[in-house]
Chains A and B, each alone.
Chain A
Amino acid sequence: MGKIGLIIEREYLTRVKRKSFLLTTILVPIVIIAFYAIIIAVSISGDSKVQKIAILDNAGLFDGKIEPGKDDKSGYTFIQNETEESFKTKYNREGYNIFLYIPEFSDSQPGPMKIHSQAAVNLFVKTALERKINAAIERKRLIAADIDPDIYQKIKSDIRIENIVDAGGKEKKSNTWITYMVSFAGGILIYMILLIYGTMVMRGVMEEKTNRIAEVIVSSAKPFQLMLGKIVGIGAVGLTQFAIWIVLMSLLQLFIPLLFPQFFQQLPSGDQVGAAMATQAGNSGIASAIEGLRSLPVGLILFCFIFYFIGGYLLYAALFAAIGSVVSEDQQEAQQLVFPVMMPLILGFVIMMKAVNAPDSSLAIFGSMFPLTSPIVMMGRITYGVPWWQIAISMALLVLAFLFFTWLTAKIYRTGILLYGKKVSWKEIWKWVVRKG
């Protein structure tokens, strides 16, 4: 095995064997999936409990009958011969969770309606009730205005616009919301990867320098081999971590339908009138999300993600390695020196936030070409469809920048790691770069 191979192996194994690596690698997907499960649990919690609702309809809105929705498990009972005051104290004893009071009112001016309950009423139950009351009031008004409610239903319009993307000769349905989310997530993910693994490289270099092991190693291997071995080794740690995350997440998410069977059984069903809000929102949301994901150029996105992950990581890791080699023991000094590297990273993040809203603006195009920001910004644009020549230029520039910065930082690194106990100015670093040999 060559020396770089040995160095990569050490960098990789020492990190992967650490307890903290095991912990974060396993905990992160569990936390994400648990979070996801909690969101679903909260959103359907209203349905899981059967609500018994007592209605005192003094206005005669419902004419004594109410149609429960298809998945509405609530029971509705109309109360007679009671007042709000008298029944308020009794409903709980008589087995009702909720007591809805509708006062008498004139057609034009509905009075203040009240829901009495022992605990705060679930938002979805409340909205469902409001919707039912509104529908009833509308119906009364239609009749008062001599309009047949059935005819009105036929006249009423409720359209949704579908976006068809005509790129590549094939028609694709576009889902703006899902495109936005995927762009945003891709950009943020790349940003975080560069930051987390970049600083890991920097800390590794600083560790070697402050432990004084660097001089021992460079009497066995070239500084460039040491630097490259470290960058590749830590990059492999990152890829391993991501691979485990993806596998774990896809396994764990299989358990979610088992946890919430009633929620996922409803998935294939279409529109439901009068069903609880939560189910309906979840339903159409997930259905359209799946449809939206299908509409995206998944292969291209994955390819770009891997390319910009690797390219961006190699570029920034080299820069972080150079910074790590220059720092002496002082942590504070590291923060000052790391600032010029953080700047383009943060700039990329900011441009990416703009690019997901305006993917074809000149700022977004510039950001996705400029090698120090392109890994982040291009991920923010790619879902919207980017001309192939722009992708080609961006990737070529990234590769060139990687070669240039590796050459540049290797010069800084070589001198920096053997320099102890001295604060280095930018001017001196520049001299190391231009010095020949």
Chain B
Amino acid sequence: MTNMENILEVKNLKKNFATQKAVDNVSFDISRGSVFGMLGPNGAGKTTLLRMITGIFYPDDGTILFEGKKFDPLNDIVRIGYMPEERGLYKKMKIGEQALYLARLKGLSKSEAMDKIRYWFERMEMQSWWNKKVQDLSKGMSQKLQFVTTILHEPSLVILDEPFSGLDPVNANLIKDEIFNLAKKGSTIIFSTHRMEQVEEICDHIILINKGEKILDGSVKRVKQDFKENLFQVGFERKPDTLPDNTVFETVGTRGEHFVLKIREGYKPHDVLQYLIAQSHEVISFNEMLPSLNDIFIKLVEGTPLARQFQYIEKA
């Protein structure tokens, strides 16, 4: 079923390297204009998956639909901007020339490319860099340049692999704002990372990949709901020493001045409140405790080696 709402539909994608399954039967859809998080520990197969979506690798099996049609790397890659995790630029080439070259490789004409470069260099305060060489830039500066060259040709799909690694908070925020801006203008963003705190903030939808397989798929809100453990945090005007055992909830622990309660099967939050009020406690706060993506992530991949050694071919 093709859906024009989806910019990318991946179905049963497989890629093996000799004896190792790098990507095993992964399917997901990405809706247009969303920020899509692809999570997973190191060596889960994220990069291989991204390389198939960018046409660098051919899948062994499965299909990729790009904007409703079968993905054609030759023509479609100009609509994609890919910033790989391993950043790279020509060290000895001047920055302006480099940006121009990369933009023209993406199919822009020289004058189009120049206009876009001028716009972005001004926006990112990089005008004075034009005649500098990459080897003279700091790491943060070259990251900024890398980002600009990725999105210069206004791709409809932007793929960013660990975009914030090596950035200071100021530049990280700058890039984050640009990611939101791109999404607002209709670009779709795939955001691959193993760092969860940014994902909660940025992504609409996530999938979790582990050992080449998709083990989780959903909106950030939905995933958190699915993994909630019915934990609530209660604050009292006067904190009692203990709460008696009862049928409605069990006391899991305390957190500062608050108690952490787990509601028993069959009861609802308001049953807890009713019970507490009936016990003449003065409740001043009552919040649901949703798990962080980090907790979910650790819970799901726990017990599997976090850093699977990624290799193309195992030594016989």
A interface residue numbers (CB < 8 A to B): 1, 3, 6-7, 10, 14, 207-208, 211-222, 415, 418-420, 422, 425, 427-428, 431, 437
Question: What is the chain B residue whose CB lies nearest that of A220?
Answer: B105
Question: What is the chain B residue whose CB lies nearest that of A427?
Answer: B316
Q: How far is the CA of A10 from the CA of B86 in the complex (A)?
A: 22
B239 within 8 A of A: no
A219 adjacent to B312 (CB under 8 Å): no
Interface range for B? 35 or more
A219 adjacent to B93 (CB under 8 Å): no
A220 adjacent to B102 (CB under 8 Å): yes
Determine which of A1, A219, A428 lies in contact with B77 in the assembled complex, contact meaning CB atoms within 8 Å: A219
Contacting residues, chain B, for A217 (C-beta < 8 A) = 105
Determine which of B56, B77, B78, B87 lies in contact with A212 in the assembled complex, contact meaning CB atoms within 8 Å: B87
Nearest 4 A-B pairs (CB), nearest first? Answer: A212-B88, A213-B88, A219-B82, A220-B105
B304 within 8 A of A: no
A220 adjacent to B88 (CB under 8 Å): no
B312 adjacent to A415 (CB under 8 Å): yes
Extra inter-chain contacts (11) besides given A216-B102, A216-B149, CB under 8 Å: A1-B104, A6-B104, A6-B105, A14-B90, A14-B92, A212-B84, A215-B88, A219-B77, A219-B82, A220-B78, A220-B106
Contacting residues, chain B, for A418 (C-beta < 8 A) = 51, 56
B104 adjacent to A419 (CB under 8 Å): no
Closest Cβ of chain A: how far from B154's Cβ, in Å?
14
Closest Cβ of chain B: how far from A61's Cβ, in Å?
73
Question: What is the chain B residue whose CB lies nearest that of A217?
Answer: B105
CB-defined A-B contacts under 8 Å, sample of 16: A1-B104, A6-B104, A14-B92, A207-B91, A211-B90, A212-B84, A212-B88, A213-B88, A216-B82, A216-B84, A216-B149, A418-B56, A420-B86, A425-B315, A428-B312, A431-B18
Contacting residues, chain A, for B306 (C-beta < 8 A) = none
A219 adjacent to B313 (CB under 8 Å): no
B interface residue numbers (CB < 8 A to A): 18, 51, 54-56, 58, 60, 73-74, 77-78, 80, 82-84, 86-93, 101-102, 104-106, 146, 149, 311-313, 315-316
Question: What is the chain A residue whose CB lies nearest that of B90?
Answer: A213
Q: How far is the CA of A219 from the CA of B58 in the complex (A)?
A: 13
Determine which of A7, A207, A219, A428 lies in contact with B55 in the assembled complex, contact meaning CB atoms within 8 Å: A219
Known: A10-B101, A431-B18. A219 touches B88 (CB 8 A): no
Q: How far is the CA of A431 from the CA of B19 in the complex (A)?
A: 12
Q: How far is the CA of A7 from the CA of B55 in the complex (A)?
A: 19
Q: How far is the CA of A211 from the CA of B77 in the complex (A)?
A: 22
Contacting residues, chain A, for B51 (C-beta < 8 A) = 418
Question: What is the chain B residue whose CB lies nearest that of A210?
Answer: B88
Interface centre among A7, A14, A425 (most CB of B within 10 A): A14
Contacting residues, chain B, for A6 (C-beta < 8 A) = 101, 104-105
B54 adjacent to A219 (CB under 8 Å): yes
Q: How far is the CA of A14 from the CA of B84 in the complex (A)?
A: 24
A215 adjacent to B86 (CB under 8 Å): yes
B56 adjacent to A219 (CB under 8 Å): yes
Q: How far is the CA of A352 from the CA of B222 in the complex (A)?
A: 75
A216 adjacent to B77 (CB under 8 Å): no
B89 adjacent to A213 (CB under 8 Å): yes
Q: How far is the CA of A318 from the CA of B83 in the complex (A)?
A: 28
Contacting residues, chain B, for A10 (C-beta < 8 A) = 101
B91 adjacent to A211 (CB under 8 Å): yes
Contacting residues, chain B, for A415 (C-beta < 8 A) = 312
A422 adjacent to B311 (CB under 8 Å): yes
A419 adjacent to B56 (CB under 8 Å): no
Interface centre among A3, A212, A219 (most CB of B within 10 A): A219
Closest Cβ of chain B: how far from A16's Cβ, in Å?
13
Q: How far is the CA of A437 from the CA of B105 in the complex (A)?
A: 24
Closest Cβ of chain A: how far from B191's Cβ, in Å?
16
Q: How far is the CA of A208 from the CA of B91 in the complex (A)?
A: 9
B101 adjacent to A219 (CB under 8 Å): no
Q: How far is the CA of A51 from the CA of B51 in the complex (A)?
A: 82
Contacting residues, chain A, for B312 (C-beta < 8 A) = 415, 419, 428
Contacting residues, chain A, for B77 (C-beta < 8 A) = 219-220
A14 adjacent to B105 (CB under 8 Å): no
B55 adjacent to A214 (CB under 8 Å): no
Question: What is the chain B residue whose CB lies nearest that of A18?
Answer: B92
Contacting residues, chain B, for A208 (C-beta < 8 A) = 88, 90
Closest Cβ of chain A: how far from B173's Cβ, in Å?
24
Closest Cβ of chain A: how far from B145's Cβ, in Å?
11
Q: How far is the CA of A420 from the CA of B84 in the complex (A)?
A: 13
Closest Cβ of chain A: how far from B310's Cβ, in Å?
10
A215 adjacent to B105 (CB under 8 Å): no
Contacting residues, chain A, for B313 (C-beta < 8 A) = 428, 431
Closest Cβ of chain B: how far from A361's Cβ, in Å?
44
Closest Cβ of chain B: how far from A91's Cβ, in Å?
66
A211 adjacent to B88 (CB under 8 Å): yes
Closest Cβ of chain A: how far from B107's Cβ, in Å?
8
Closest Cβ of chain A: how far from B138's Cβ, in Å?
16
Contacting residues, chain A, for B91 (C-beta < 8 A) = 207, 211
Contacting residues, chain B, for A431 (C-beta < 8 A) = 18, 313
A437 adjacent to B90 (CB under 8 Å): no
B105 adjacent to A3 (CB under 8 Å): yes
Known: A219-B54, A418-B56. A14 touches B93 (CB 8 A): yes
Closest Cβ of chain B: how far from A157's Cβ, in Å?
69
A437 adjacent to B58 (CB under 8 Å): yes
Known: A218-B56, A437-B58. A212 touches B86 (CB 8 A): yes
Known: A415-B312, A431-B18. A215 touches B101 (CB 8 A): no
Contacting residues, chain B, for A219 (C-beta < 8 A) = 54-56, 77, 80, 82, 84
